[in-house]
Each structure stands twice: as structure tokens, then as C-alpha cells.
Amino acid sequence: MIRLTHGMVLAAGFGTRMRPLTEAVPKPLLALRGRSLLDHALDRLEDAGIGQAVVNAHYLAPQVVAACEARSEPRCNVLVEDELLETGGGIRNALPHLGEGPFAVVNGDAYWLDGPTPALIRLAAAFDESRMDALLLMVRAANVEGEVGLGDFLLDPLGRLRRPKEREVAPYLYAGVQILHPRLLDGTQPGRFGLMGPWMRAIEQGRLYGLVHDGAWFHLSTPPDLQRAEDLLDKGLVKLF
């Protein structure tokens, strides 16, 4: 169990699959239930007791900066990337601002409803620094509406993750919420890279774990996804699982 003090929201991407909605607005600033996805993510960090947050920005960065400046909590440090660094590079670039211990990372387009205990609190309670370099929130692919492909990960009885083999169907999707230890990025170099490489090294060492979400989660990739989520929430048709 750890106590989270720092978190990061990834808000730098172009959101190309969400066009035309993202032609003039970055995807994390699209509204769901009258509030931006970025604010929803920062609200979750705040609710988990996280006081220091980093938000990265690139596409339409001034809008992201203005949105963060409009908040008082958590205290946000916006890192504007002149070149898009992707997920791994963006997190590595933010490490000096994320403390020395494990920290939360939330995708800027992640939206979920908590079960009995908030997901970030559950992740923090389950995180074991001696065994884990990262703990990812997982959702069951069968419970997700929308195109999800063959799934992202398989989970063993101890909670360790592995990637699917060729043509293998994986039952779990990554929910865009995780806790990382800074050592996950040991050996990486500054610049543009994804997070899959560090995840795969952690898998090889048996140090990448998953925790299955016990609330609702929304796949928000395209404009119809966003409208479907809005409709389900407005009508109260969301089930917890």
C-alpha cells in the first residue's frame, strides 16, 4: 500500500479519431456531462488526495494551459511539448516533477465511474513497491461497447500481466489509469517513445501487474462513443461490474 501525492494527466495527443470534434478543441477538453474530460481526470486525482499534478500538452496547448490555470486543486504544472513525445517520452519528461516514489498516470480521455472504493484508492492500496514497477487498471473487454480489437492483456492468478500472442484473444483492456514507479523508465532516453517498451520489460521481469476495475468504464475513441456515453449516463443505464 502506498500514499499517492503526485499524478499526471496525459493531454498532448491529437485526438484524430475524434474529429471533427477535435479540429478546434483538444480531445481532453471535450465535454461529457457538462465538464471536460480533463477536469474529470483531475477531479479523480484530487479525490484520491493527490495535491500535485502534471499535465502535458502539445496539440492546441494554450487551451490546455488555460483549463489548468482555472483550477485551484490539484496544483497543476503544465509541460508544453514542442515535439509530441508520446506516452513514455511524456512521462519521462515529467519525472522531475512527479516526486521520488510511485505516482498515478491517467489518460486525458479516460472516463470511468468508481465502484464501492475509488479506483485510484484501490490501485494505491494494492501497489507493492517490492514486487511492482507498474499496476494498471483493467476492464473486461466483454463489458465494453465499441471496437476494442482482440484485447490488450491477460491476467494470471497472481495479478501479473502478459500481452496476447498472435491471434490470441485477451479478455482485458487497459483502462488508461495506472500507478507507475519511476524505475519503470530506467534505461530510457529523452525523446519520443511509447510506454509499451517499458511495460514489456516489466512483463519479462514479472513486475507488471493489473487490477480489474469494479465500476463502469467508457470507451471514448470516436464522436459516436462520446454521444453514447452521454446518453447512457443521462438515462441512468450504466451498469457496474
What does R_g of the chain's alpha carbons equal in angstroms? 17
Distance CA 217, CA 115 (A): 10
Partner residues linked to 49 by β-bridges: none
Contact 136, 153 (CB under 8 A): yes
Query: What residue type is assigned to position 196 of the chain?
Result: M
Question: Please, which pLDDT band fits residue 217 given cuts at 50, 70 and 90?
Answer: very high
Least confident span in 9-18, 142-151, 211-220: 142-151
Q: Mean pLDDT across the stretch 105-117?
A: 94
The mean predicted confidence, pLDDT, of the chain is 93
Q: For the chain, give every domain's residue range.
A: 6-235
Least confident span in 29-43, 133-147, 151-165, 226-240: 226-240
pLDDT number for residue 151: 82
Q: Mean pLDDT across the stretch 184-192?
A: 96
pLDDT number for residue 143: 76
Give yes or no for residue 241 having a pLDDT over 60.
no
Give yes or no for residue 122 having a pLDDT over 90.
yes
User: Is 3.40.30.160 the CATH number for 6-235?
Assistant: no
pLDDT number for residue 239: 54
Q: Mean pLDDT across the stretch 6-27?
A: 96
DSSP assignment of the chain equals -----EEEEE--S--GGGTTTTSSS-GGGSEETTEEHHHHHHHHHHHTT--EEEEEE-TTHHHHHHHHHT--SSEEEEEE-SS--HHHHHHHHHGGGS-SS-EEEEETT-EEE--SS-HHHHHHHH--TTT-SEEEEEEEGGG--S--TT-SBEE-TTSBEEPPPTTPPPSEEEEEEEEE-GGGGTT--SS---SHHHHHHHHHTT-EEEEE-SSEEE--SSHHHHHHHHHHHHHT-----
Q: Mean pLDDT across the stretch 125-138?
A: 97
pLDDT number for residue 146: 59
Distance CA 202, CA 204 (A): 5
Give yes or no for residue 198 having a pLDDT over 60.
yes
The pairing of strands 52-57 and 111-113 is unpaired
Give yes or no for residue 199 having a pLDDT over 90.
yes
pLDDT number for residue 142: 80
Q: Mean pLDDT across the stretch 50-61?
A: 96
Q: Mean pLDDT across the stretch 216-223?
A: 92
Distance CA 73, CA 4 (A): 15
Question: Please, which pLDDT band fits residue 141 given cuts at 50, 70 and 90?
Answer: confident
Say what the pTM is.
0.93
Q: Mean pLDDT across the stretch 194-215?
A: 97
Distance CA 60, CA 62 (A): 6
Contact 40, 28 (CB under 8 A): no
